[in-house]
Amino acid sequence: MQSAPEALSAIPENRYAEQLRCGFRFLRFSEPLEQEYHQYISKAQARYQKIAVLLGLGIWMIFTLVDVMRLDLGQRFPDYPAPLWSLLLVRGSIILILSLLALRLLDGSREHYGPKVVTATLLSLVLGTTLTIIFYENLNVPISNSVLLLMAITLFFPLGLSYRSNLLLAAVSLPLVVLPGLWLLAQAQQVDYLRLCFIFSLALLICAMGAYVRDHTQREQFLLLRLLDWQANHDPLTALHNRRSFTQHLDLALRQGNRESATVALLMLDIDHFKRFNDHYGHQAGDEALRQVGRVLQHFARRPMDMAVRLGGEEFALLLYGCDAEQLRTLGEALRSGLATLNIAHAASPTADHLTVSMGARLAMDGESSEELYRRADALLYQAKQAGRNHLTLG
């Protein structure tokens, strides 16, 4: 059974396998893979944002209901001392913030919130929780200060922030907990409060360690999922797209071409007398020849909608978007010349002393299906072979 490094070394070069080989100890991918990861994680964690907002709103409303009962607000209204009015103001402000967030998330106007909104909301909760504890102390009403430990966990909850953002959020939250207590509490109360702040900082440290492990695992899973998807859509020998990926992309390109009035071209090519090449030089040399042809072909698929494909065996295809007839002819001849410059010896070929290819190329007609385009391009490839091979036939 292969080890993980051996399995990765057998995969053709791609950015997901390369990142797994290099590792990501500091929880950072190379660009633009880092951007792709954040797009993925934002979508994946949109559901957690909804749950967190609703859960936070529910918990905060329960705390508010407890305030009403514990502090006998109905009987004492409106003769409240200043700390109690301050407490109610904080409770109401946090409920308003969470309610607005919940409404925006649940009405379908957005799938998730960006890092700035998440950060501002969490900092508001930290400050609100801190002030609530302080106002309870000033009212001489006992309250469980362990709610700050729950706040430490919340700061590292998976809400779409990067690990670095979580660390920065934790660093900013610590003075938001410490400073209001030093400012609003009496000196006799500050000793116990500072002890609580110390416990809060330890909780942040423990949560940060757990968040690191979670983020590392999420990144590894992301790379493995992307790698599996890459393998499902690429040829393992040449790293070009495979027939499955090509079939899906051809339909997409034709639909988009119809919408944008853009031309779509399909060029199919076949290595001449490749069975004789394998018989004469061996299959390892044949595999290397296929890889070299694949690299040249990939050089011509530069734009986002272009695609270089290994259809199977010695048969390849090149899908070109926004390519007219003259460009197709020029590109086809340039491709044939580029393959010839590889100068791969083929002593067993009756066509030439080096490896050659036959090609058939066609522009898609209006309303032409992917099956029709493929069939007609394949027929042109057959004509090129019948014409003596090492030839390009345009339709």
List active site positions.
314
Is residue 88 within 8 A of residue 126, CB to CB? The reply is no
Pairing assessment for the beta strands 307-312 and 315-321 based on DSSP bridges? antiparallel
CB atoms within 10 A of CB 195: 11
Side-chain-side CA neighbours of 363 within 13 Å: the count stands at: 16
Is residue 141 within 8 A of residue 89, CB to CB? The reply is no
DSSP percent split of the chain into helix, strand, coil, nearest 5: 65, 10, 25
Please name every residue paired with 316 in a beta bridge, in sequence order, or none if there are none.
269, 310
Characterize 257-279 residue by residue with b for buried, 16 or more Cβ atoms within 10 angstroms of its Cβ, and e for exposed.
beeeeebbbbbbbbbbbbeebbe
CA 166/CA 104 separation, integer angstroms? 23
Phi-psi region of 180 (alpha: psi -120 to 50; beta: other; left: phi over 0): alpha
